[in-house]
Amino acid sequence: MISFLSRRLAYMVVTLLLVSVVSFAIIQSAPGDYAEIVAAKRAATGTVITQADIEQVRVELGLDQPWHQQYWRWFSRAVQGDFGYSWAWRRPVGEVIAERMPLTLAIAFSTLFFMYAVSIPIGIYSAVRRYSFGDHLASLIGYLGLAIPNFLLALVLMYLGQQYLDQSVGGLFSPEYFNAPWSWGRVKDLLAHLVIPVLVLGLAGTAYLIRSMRAAMLDELDKMYVLAARASGLSPMQLLIRYPVRMALNPIAATLGWRLTYVISGAPIVGFVLALPDTGPLFLDALLNQDMYLAGALIFLYCLLTIIGTFVSDLLLVLLDPRIRLE
C-alpha cells in the first residue's frame, strides 16, 4: 500500500513538473515580452522610453537569462502562489484568480456530485429493466447529451429561461439580489442560478457514466454468484446493492479523475456563455488579450486540479477493490 502510494505520488509530481513546463512554454510563446509591455505602460504615462530603457527592464525582470533559469524563477514563485502580474487587470495574477477560483471549484464539484448521483441509479435501473421504456429513454437522453455541444445547451437553456420562466439565467444572482446582504432568499437565488451551469456541464458526463454503469451492471448480472445469492433467498433489492452494484462501481470510480478532467475542460466555455463570475471568462479574456501570465497560471491550476483528481480516483480504486494492491 505504501509503495503504491509513493509510486503514485512520485508520478503525480513528475506530471506536475511537465504541466508547469507546458504552462511556461505557453507564457513564453506569446509575441512580445513583458518588458515591452512594461515599457508601453510607462510610455502611456508620458515618459520617454528608449531601447536602452527596455533592455534595462529586461535585465531587471531577468528576461535576458536563458529560458531554464527563467522557468525556474517562474516555477519557484508559482509554487509559493506568486504567478506574476496581469497587465490587463493591473494586479497580481494570484489575487485575480483567488477571487474567482472558489466558484469554479464549487461548480466543478457540484457537477461531479450531480453526475454520479444521477447516473448511478439510472444506470442500475437501465441494466435491471433492460429494453424497458425507461431504458430506451435513458439511452436517448444519453445520445443527445453526448451530441449537444455544451455551449449550445447553455444558450438554449438561457433562451428558454428568459423567454418562458422570465428569470435572468446568466450570472450568479438576479438583479434584486446582486448587491443585497446575505439572506435566505439570496442563497436560494444563488442555488437556482447554479442549476443551469451544473446541468450543462454535467449532461455529457452523466450520459457517458450511465452507459458505462449500465454495461458494467449487465456484465455482473449474468454471473453465477448473482444466481447463487438469489437462490439462497436474498431479497432482490438487498442482492442488487450488496453484490453486483459494488462490483460495477469499480470501473466508474476508476474514471473519476477523467470525469473531473472533462468537467474542468468544459468549465471555461460554459462559464463564458453563462457570464458566471468564475475563472472561465477570465481565462478566455486572458487568451484573447494575450495576457499570458494569467492564462498560463490558469492552465497550470486547471491541470493541477485534474492531477489531484486522478490521484484521488486511484486511491478510491484501491480502497474499493483489494485486488489492485496485489499488483
Partner 1 sequence: MSTGIYRAFAPVRSLFRRRDYRPDLASQWQLMWWKFRRHKLAILGMALLGGLLIMALFAETISPYPPGQRDPAYVAGPPMAPRFIDETGAFHLRPFVYGTTAVRDMNTLRLVHQIDTSKKWKLQFLVEGAPYRLLGLVPTNIRLFGIEHNMIHLFGTDFTGLDLFSRSVHAARASLGVALVGVTVSFVLGSAIGGVAGYFGGGIDNFVMRLIEFIRSIPTLPLWLALAALMPRHWGPLATYLAITVILALLGWTWLARTVRSKLLATRHEDFVLAARLSGCSDARIIRRHLLPSFLSYLIVDASIAFPEILLAETSLSFLGLGLREPVESWGVLLFAAQNIRAIDQAPWLMIPGVFVIVAVLAFNFVGDGLRDAADPYSKS
**For residue 37, which of 49, 25, 26 has the smallest C-alpha distance?**
49
Residue 239 found at the interface with partner 1 (CB under 8 A): no
Q: How far is the CB of 125 from partner 1 (least distance, A)?
A: 21
Complex with partner 1: residue 85 or 272, whichever CB lies closer: 272
Residue 268 found at the interface with partner 1 (CB under 8 A): yes
Residue 180 found at the interface with partner 1 (CB under 8 A): no
Q: How far is the CB of 272 from partner 1 (least distance, A)?
A: 7
250 within 8 A of 321, measured Cβ to Cβ: yes
The residue count for binding partner 1 (CB under 8 A) is 48
Q: Where in 25-84 is the site for partner 1 (CB under 8 A)?
A: 26, 29-31
Query: Per-residue string for binding with partner 1, 139-168, x by CB under 8 A?
Result: ----xx-xxxx-xx--xx-xx--xx-----
Task: Measure the CA–CA gap between 19 and 27, rounded to whole angstroms.
Answer: 12
Task: Measure the CA–CA gap between 290 and 87, rounded to whole angstroms.
Answer: 10
Residue 240, phi then psi, degrees to nearest 5? -60, -50
Out of 19, 93, 203, 245, point to the residue binding partner 1 (CB under 8 A): 19
Complex with partner 1: residue 61 or 146, whichever CB lies closer: 146
Out of 213, 253, 294, 299, point to the residue binding partner 1 (CB under 8 A): 299
Q: How far is the CB of 30 from partner 1 (least distance, A)?
A: 6
The three grid cell numbers given for residue 234, joined into one nine-digit string: 436474498
Out of 101, 195, 287, 315, point to the residue binding partner 1 (CB under 8 A): 287
| Contact range with partner 1 by CB under 8 A, out of 118-126, 194-202, 229-237, 296-304 | 296-304
Interface ranges with partner 1 (CB under 8 A): 15, 18-19, 22, 26, 29-31, 143-144, 146-149, 151-152, 155-156, 158-159, 162-163, 169-170, 257-258, 261-262, 264-266, 268-269, 272-273, 283-284, 287-288, 290, 295, 298-299, 302-303, 306-307, 310
